[in-house]
């Protein structure tokens, strides 16, 4: 199966109906949406989820999320109300939003690079089930899984 770019896949998948709200629900339960989008990408491509692979991606994503993405997101969220009353702060918040998106893109590129040589195998590619947050988020994960399959087919021109 041809390799599709994770960033292009993530943008196309996230734009599908129901995916944004599913991802926000998963994020609210502590999930790393970038890691889940990567997992959906790997699963849609038939790449087996092995414990060493999962651990490698989690170890790569965790510090980036904690040190880069979450602080940007928290500051952006903290500025939501005051930015509604201050045009300069509104503009800064928009810049911060773009920076947060760029940080997520950088993480997706790191995840793609790490998984670059992984080939489809005969084992089930159960990535999303392995990364489910502690809370029961099966419906959100199924929304993401279905969108990922449709996205992969669309990117491959099928």
Give Cα 135 to chain centroid, integer Å. 18
**Residue 132: predicted pLDDT:** 72
Query: Mean per-residue pLDDT for 20-49?
Result: 92
Residue 4 has pLDDT above 80, yes or no: no
40 domain-assigned: yes
**pLDDT given at position 157:** 66
- What's the confidence (pLDDT) of residue 134? 64
SS3 16: coil
Contact 131, 36 (CB under 8 A): yes
pLDDT in tens, 47-82: 999 999 999 999 999 999 999 999 999 999 999 999
Tell me, what's the pLDDT at 1? 39
* d(C-alpha 24, C-alpha 32), whole Å: 10
**Does residue 2 register a pLDDT over 50?**
no
The reply to whether 63 falls in a domain is yes
**99 is a domain residue:** yes
* Residues sharing a CB contact under 8 Å with residue 78, sequence separation 6 or more, in sequence order: none
Q: How many domains does the chain have?
A: 1
* 16 confidence band (pLDDT: 50, 70, 90): very high
Residue 18 covered by a domain: yes
> What is the DSSP track for 127-152?
HHHHT--SS--HHHHHHHHHHHHHHH
Tens digit of pLDDT for each residue in 93-141?
A: 999 999 999 999 999 999 999 999 998 887 778 898 888 776 678 889 8
CB 30 within 8 A of CB 133: yes
Structure tokens at 155: 């990117």
Range of the domain at 51: 6-155
Closest C-alpha to 10, from 48, 49, 38: 38
């Amino acid at each position: 199966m041809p390799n599709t770019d994770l960033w292009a896949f993530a943008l196309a998948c996230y734009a599908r109906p129901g995916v944004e709200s599913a991802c926000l629900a998963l994020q609210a339960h502590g999930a790393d949406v970038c890691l889940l989008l990567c997992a959906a990408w790997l699963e849609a491509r038939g790449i087996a989820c092995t414990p060493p692979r999962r651990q490698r991606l989690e170890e790569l994503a965790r510090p980036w999320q904690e040190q880069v993405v979450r602080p940007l997101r928290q500051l952006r969220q903290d500025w939501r109300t005051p930015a509604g009353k201050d045009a300069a702060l509104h503009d800064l918040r928009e810049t911060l939003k773009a920076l947060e998106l760029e940080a997520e893109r950088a993480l997706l590129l790191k995840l793609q690079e790490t998984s670059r040589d992984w080939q489809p195998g005969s084992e089930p590619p159960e990535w999303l089930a392995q990364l489910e947050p502690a809370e029961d988020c099966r419906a959100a994960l199924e929304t993401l899984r279905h969108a990922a399959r449709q996205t992969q087919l669309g990117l491959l021109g099928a």
